[in-house]
């Protein structure tokens, strides 16, 4: 059973979750509004919402590599506000200025797992200097947690199981499937929820 007392200290937090414990948890997927950015008006709506949001869940998806030495740049960026999740396909540069503005906006906290790798790859597509980035894995390690991946953290902190189904699908496809959209939206949404849970427990403070 995951901890339910939001006032508990880092020492009292469960540090790891077993496969058996994870398998027993209820599955959760994002069930809110999703906007797949296709037009300039979609983009303006996303910009207005995200740039006024204090905390944005952030993630990327990349076409899977099956051969040794093969690498790809991100195909999709997911950004979650309190109101909806926005999906930016990176086949066209339409979204680049809005994403750069989001990543450089100091007043908006971008939260996710292993974001350094995502940001390095995105910088090959468009230039930006990131500000106010919070890595949930770092918060977990600071809280002496042994598992720092997004799905383990969701199990430990929120008591839910996030499916992995579409992880290795073709994210470069021009037409994303319903399963891909739900998977991608869930990853950004759960990152935001995890940060808010760290915050509720008093564990979101970052070192200077």
**pTM score > 0.75 for this model?**
yes
The answer to whether residues 140 and 197 touch, using CB atoms and an 8 Å cutoff, is no
CA distance 191 to 187: 6
How confident is the model over 147-169, as a mean pLDDT?
Answer: 88
Q: How confident is the model at residue 10 (pLDDT cuts 50, 70, 90)?
A: very low
Which of these, 117, 115, 95, lies nearest to 46 by C-alpha position? Answer: 95
Alpha-carbon gap, residue 48 to 163, rounded angstroms: 30
In eight-state DSSP terms, residue 168 is T
Q: What are phi and psi of 193, to 5 degrees?
A: -60, -40
The pair of three-digit structure tokens given for residue 119, joined into one six-digit string: 């940001």
Average model confidence (pLDDT) for the chain? 89
pLDDT at residue 65 tops 90: no
- Residues, the chain, total? 208
């Amino acid at each position: 059973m995951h901890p339910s007392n939001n006032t508990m200290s880092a020492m009292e937090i469960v540090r790891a979750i077993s496969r058996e414990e994870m398998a027993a948890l209820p599955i959760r997927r994002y069930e809110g509004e999703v906007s797949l950015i296709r037009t300039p008006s979609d983009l303006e709506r996303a910009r207005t919402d995200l740039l006024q949001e204090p905390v944005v869940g952030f993630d990327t998806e990349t076409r899977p590599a099956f051969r040794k030495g093969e690498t790809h740049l991100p195909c999709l960026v997911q950004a979650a506000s309190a109101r909806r999740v926005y999906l930016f396909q990176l086949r066209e540069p339409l979204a680049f200025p809005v994403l750069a503005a989001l990543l450089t906006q100091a007043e908006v906290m971008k939260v996710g797992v292993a974001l350094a790798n995502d940001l390095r790859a995105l910088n090959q597509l468009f230039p930006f200097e990131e500000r106010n980035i919070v890595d949930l894995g770092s918060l977990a390690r600071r809280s002496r947690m042994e598992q720092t991946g997004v799905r383990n953290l969701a199990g430990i902190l929120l008591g839910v199981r996030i499916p992995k189904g579409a992880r290795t699908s073709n994210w470069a496809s021009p037409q994303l499937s319903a399963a891909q959209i739900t998977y991608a939206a869930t990853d950004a949404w759960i990152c935001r929820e995890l940060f808010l849970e760290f915050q509720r427990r008093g564990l979101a403070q970052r070192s200077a």
